[in-house]
Chains A and B, each alone.
Chain A
Amino acid sequence: MSKHVVVIGGGVAGMEAAGQLSKYGFEVSLVEKEKTTGGHLNDWHKLFPDRRSSTEVKEYLDGIILNKGINVLTNTTIEKFNKNRNTFSITTSGGTEMTADAVIVATGFELFRSSRKEEYGYGIYDNVITSSDLEEMFRNDRILMSNGDVPSTIGIVHCVGSRDEKVGNLYCSKLCCVTAVKQAIEIREHLPQSKVFCFYMDMRMGGAHYEELYREAQEEWGVSFIRGKVSEAGETIHNRLVIKVEDTLAGRPLKMELDLLVLMAGMEMSDGGKKIAVSAGLNTGDNRFFAATDNHYGSNRSNIDGIFYAGTCTAPMNITETISHARAAVSEVMDYLNDGKK
Chain B
Amino acid sequence: MAKNNMEKFGYTISKGRQIDYESNDRRIADYIFEREPSFRLCIECGGCSATCTTGNLTKFSLRELHILIKRGENDQVMNNLRKCMLCGKCTLVCPRGVNTRNIVVLAKQAFQKSGEYAI
Pick out which of these stretches binds chain A: B27-35, B91-99, B108-116: B91-99
The verdict on A103 contacting chain B, using a C-beta distance below 8 Å, is no
User: In the complex, A254→B44 CA distance in Å?
Assistant: 15
B84: chain A residues at CB < 8 Å are none
Cβ A246 vs Cβ B63 within 8 A: yes
Say yes or no: is B56 at the interface (Cβ < 8 Å to chain A).
yes
A231 to B94, CA, bound (A): 9
Segment at the B interface, from A107-115, A161-169, A177-185, A215-223: A161-169
Q: Does B50 contact A (CB under 8 A)?
A: yes
A230: CB under 8 A from chain B? yes
Contact A163 B50 (CB under 8 A): no
In the complex, whether B88 has a CB less than 8 A from a CB of chain A is no
Residues of A within 8 A of B49 (CB): 246, 248, 253
Q: Which residues from chain A sit less than 8 Å from chain B, CB to CB? A: 119, 159, 163-166, 201-202, 227-232, 244-248, 251-254
Q: Which residues of A contact B47 (CB under 8 A)?
A: 228-231, 246
Q: Given contacts A119-B93, A231-B50, A246-B63, could you give 6 more A-B pairs where the C-beta distance is less than 8 Å?
A: A228-B45, A229-B46, A232-B51, A248-B44, A248-B46, A253-B52
Contact check, B45 vs A201: say whether CB atoms are below 8 A apart. yes
- Are A244 and B96 also in contact (CB < 8 A) when A251-B61, A252-B61 are? no
Closest to A254 in B: B50
A231 to B63, CA, bound (A): 13
**Chain B min CB distance to A243 (Å):** 9
A159-B47 Cα distance, complex, nearest whole Å: 12
29 pairs, CB–CB < 8 Å, chain A vs chain B: A159-B95, A165-B94, A165-B97, A166-B94, A166-B95, A202-B43, A227-B46, A228-B45, A228-B47, A228-B50, A229-B50, A229-B93, A231-B50, A231-B93, A232-B51, A232-B93, A244-B50, A244-B56, A245-B50, A246-B47, A246-B55, A246-B63, A248-B46, A248-B63, A251-B61, A251-B64, A252-B61, A253-B55, A254-B50
Give the chain B neighbours of A119 by CB distance below 8 A: 93
Question: How far, in whole Å, are A279 and B29 apart by their CA atoms in the complex?
Answer: 49
**Complex: how many Å from CA A305 to CA B99?**
44
A-B contact count (CB 8 A): 66
Residues B46 and A165 in contact, CB atoms below 8 Å apart: no
Interface positions of B (Cβ within 8 A of A)? 43-52, 55-56, 61, 63-64, 93-97
Residue among B50, B55, B56, B61 having the largest count of chain A Cβ atoms under 10 Å: B50
Among residues of B, the one whose C-beta sits closest to the C-beta of A255 is: B56
A166 cross-chain contacts in B, Cβ below 8 A: 94-95, 97
Q: Are A246 and B61 in contact (CB under 8 A)?
A: yes
Q: Give the Cβ gap from B77 to chain A, nearest Cβ, in Å.
A: 15
**A247 nearest CB across to chain B (Å):** 8
- In the complex, what's the smallest C-beta–C-beta distance from A337 to chain B, in angstroms? 45
A244 → B minimal CB distance (Å) = 5
A146 to B34, CA, bound (A): 51
Specify which chain A residues have a CB less than 8 angstroms from the CB of B93 in the assembled complex.
Answer: 119, 229, 231-232
Contacts of B45 in A (CB 8 A): 201, 228-229, 246, 248
* Complex Cα–Cα for A303 and B47 (A): 40
Cross-chain contact A163 with B52 (CB below 8 angstroms): no
Complex CA–CA separation, A201 to B43 (angstroms): 8
| Contact A228 to B95, CB < 8 A, known contacts A244-B51, A252-B61, A253-B52 | no
